């Protein structure tokens, strides 16, 4: 009997040890899996923080690799964006919202590591998804985080409906042209329009012309080095051709620079020069209400905020004149630049584009150099001058008027450009768009 009792006790003890051991092993596995899952999540969130930071810094998404190069040195401090030990388990990309079924590959070494990620194009360049994948140290666990990014509105929709506005006088030199295909207003000044010996012209839409419907693939502006919106391409008589890619066709709006402004779509309204003296109804000068606006009121009327509030909350960069000159010389896209002091704008690279315009606010005088092609809104608290031969697509606001504006500049009022300024303010993550899930 004693022997039987001993055997039973021994059996129970053995079973107890076995069960306890299995429980400990299961608990250890659960703890290890939890640690792996936590590591994957933390890696993914670290990657998302990096992506949001790069977007806020003003990264040019069209030039970004997919995935992003985390070995880069964005701050020029001789350190990579992410330490190697972390970068090995993190992959980040900017992706088009057009296809949002993103997936993380089995390992970060897979090609591509982030699946179903299409490069943003057109309107999505300013409002992409940031997608971050994180893996555990042994790559057995993975986690994905997705967040929509965007910019605060930089210029209120419908705030301006003409190419050139100033509460002061407008002094023209050389050969100056303003084109507005969208309504019948070109020059709006509080003071007089001083033509001097200049040749000044304005063009508005011919009453018999309507904007072309580009929903049909058969017509679209041809691609070249200079861009403008498809409405202007049609108005200026540029040849159109098929562009197969839908994003290019709808959003990039590519076509060659204007060479002939006298088409059946445009009507020359103002022709002032040595042999002409016609001023059209599209020219509104000596507007006493406009002339009465202080610089602060003039700014608030068009931008919707006072200067301090706009500078602090909307401007993506605040620069000195020398910093701004260096930045613009290399070309700028999709930003709101505030310059404290007078600026001479020059360089060979286009500033802005149809889908990524620039809002430039100069708290001082602004001089335009030769050959500038600018897409967006130009604002100067002082006067606008220079020897410009380029094109401005969008609108110009000059509180101090224009003085000695020579050369052969053309200002095109462009609704497509102005509409996209709604997306180029200070870059940030869109509230409520963060989401994550674990892929089993």
pLDDT, position 175: 80
Residue 257: is it exposed, middle or buried by C-beta count within 10 angstroms (0-12/13-18/19+)?
Answer: middle
Over 70: is that where the pLDDT of 438 sits? no
405 compared with 97, residue with greater pLDDT: 97
HSE on the CB side for 134, CA within 13 Å? 25
Same domain, 400 and 277: yes
Same domain, 179 and 147: no
- 63 Cβ contact partners less than 8 Å away, ≥ 6 residues apart: none
**How many domains is the chain built from?**
2
Same domain, 399 and 299: yes
Structural domain includes residue 346: yes
Question: Residue range 391-414: average pLDDT?
Answer: 85
Q: What residue has token string 């039987």? A: 4
DSSP letter assigned to residue 183 = S
pLDDT tens figures, 168-226: 988 777 788 888 878 889 989 998 877 777 788 888 877 766 554 333 232 333 333 23
Same domain, 115 and 173: no
pLDDT, position 295: 95
Cα distance between residue 359 and residue 314, in whole Å: 10
Structural domain includes residue 292: yes
**Conformation bin of residue 304: beta by default, left when phi > 0, alpha when psi is -120 to 50:** left
Which residues are 277's β-sheet partners? 272
Same domain, 191 and 144: no
| DSSP codes joined into one string, 253-322 | -B-PPPS---STTEEEEEEEETTEEE--TT-B---HHHHT--HHHHHHHHHSS-HHHHHHHT-SEEE-HH
Same domain, 275 and 363: yes
Same domain, 127 and 49: yes
17 compared with 292, residue with greater pLDDT: 292
Structural domain includes residue 1: no
pLDDT tens figures, 288-304: 999 999 999 999 999 98
**Where residue 45 falls among pLDDT bands split at 50, 70, 90?**
very high
Question: Residue range 143-164: average pLDDT?
Answer: 86
The pTM (predicted TM-score) of the whole model is 0.71
State how far the alpha carbon of 380 is from the alpha carbons of 167, 367, 377, 397, 398, in Å.
Answer: 12, 10, 10, 7, 5
pLDDT tens figures, 243-273: 344 444 333 344 433 334 444 567 778 887 7
- 76 Cβ contact partners less than 8 Å away, ≥ 6 residues apart: none
Over 60: is that where the pLDDT of 418 sits? yes
Cα distance between residue 362 and residue 36, in whole Å: 52
Structural domain includes residue 185: yes
Same domain, 200 and 339: yes
Question: Residue range 311-315: average pLDDT?
Answer: 91
Structural domain includes residue 368: yes
Over 70: is that where the pLDDT of 20 sits? no
Cα distance between residue 102 and residue 185, in whole Å: 47
Same domain, 179 and 67: no
Structural domain includes residue 222: no
Question: Residue range 68-85: average pLDDT?
Answer: 68
**Where residue 147 falls among pLDDT bands split at 50, 70, 90?**
very high
Give backbone dihedrals phi and psi of 380, rounded to 5 degrees, phi first.
-135, 135
Structural domain including 94 reads 28-152+427-437
Same domain, 357 and 397: yes
Same domain, 274 and 131: no
- 114 Cβ contact partners less than 8 Å away, ≥ 6 residues apart: 66, 67, 91, 92, 93, 95, 102, 103, 104, 105, 131, 133
Structural domain includes residue 387: yes
**Where residue 121 falls among pLDDT bands split at 50, 70, 90?**
confident
Structural domain includes residue 377: yes
Which of 120, 108, 140, 24 shows the shortest CA–CA distance to 423? 120
Same domain, 56 and 195: no
Q: Alpha-carbon torsion 272, 273, 275, 277, what sign?
A: positive
Cβ atoms within 10 Å of 279's Cβ, excluding its own: 17
């Amino acid at each position: 009997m004693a022997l039987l009792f001993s055997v039973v006790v021994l059996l129970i003890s053995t079973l107890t040890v076995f069960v306890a051991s299995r429980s400990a092993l299961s608990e250890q596995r659960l703890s290890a899996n939890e640690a792996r899952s936590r590591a994957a999540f933390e890696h993914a969130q670290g990657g998302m923080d990096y992506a949001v930071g790069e977007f806020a810094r003003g990264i040019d998404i069209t030039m970004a690799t997919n995935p992003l190069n985390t070995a880069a040195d964005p701050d020029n401090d001789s350190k990579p964006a992410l330490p190697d030990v972390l970068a090995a388990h993190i992959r980040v990309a900017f992706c088009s919202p057009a296809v949002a079924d993103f997936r993380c590959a089995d390992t970060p070494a897979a090609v591509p590591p982030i699946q179903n990620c299409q490069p943003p194009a057109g309107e999505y360049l300013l409002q992409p998804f940031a997608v971050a994948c994180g893996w555990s140290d042994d790559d057995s666990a993975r986690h994905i985080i997705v967040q929509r990014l965007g910019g605060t509105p930089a210029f209120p929709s419908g705030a301006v409906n003409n190419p050139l506005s100033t509460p002061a006088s407008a002094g023209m030199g050389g050969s100056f042209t303003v084109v507005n295909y969208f309504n019948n207003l070109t020059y709006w000044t509080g003071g007089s329009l001083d033509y001097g010996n200049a040749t000044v012209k304005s063009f508005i839409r011919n009453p018999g012309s309507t904007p072309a419907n580009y929903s049909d693939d058969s017509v679209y502006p041809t691609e070249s080095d200079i861009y403008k919106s498809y409405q202007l391409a049609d108005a200026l008589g540029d040849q159109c051709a098929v562009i197969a890619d839908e994003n290019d066709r709808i959003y990039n709006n590519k076509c060659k620079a204007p060479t002939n402004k006298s088409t059946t779509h445009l009507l020359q309204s103002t022709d002032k020069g040595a042999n002409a003296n016609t001023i059209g109804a599209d020219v509104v000068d000596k507007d006493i209400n406009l002339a009465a606006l202080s610089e602060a009121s003039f700014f608030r009327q068009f931008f919707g905020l006072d200067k301090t509030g706009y500078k602090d909350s909307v401007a993506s960069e605040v620069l000195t004149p020398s910093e701004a000159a260096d930045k613009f010389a290399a070309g700028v896209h999709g930003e709101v630049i505030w310059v404290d002091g007078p600026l001479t704008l020059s360089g060979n690279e286009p500033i802005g584009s149809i889908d990524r315009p620039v809002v430039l606010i100069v708290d001082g005088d602004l001089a335009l150099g030769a050959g500038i092609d600018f897409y967006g809104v130009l604002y100067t608290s002082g006067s606008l001058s220079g020897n410009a031969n380029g094109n401005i697509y969008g609108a110009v606001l000059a509180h101090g008027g224009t003085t000695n504006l020579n050369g052969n500049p053309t200002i095109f009022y462009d609704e497509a450009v102005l509409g996209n300024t709604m997306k180029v303010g200070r870059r940030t993550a869109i509230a409520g768009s963060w989401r994550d899930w674990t892929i089993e």
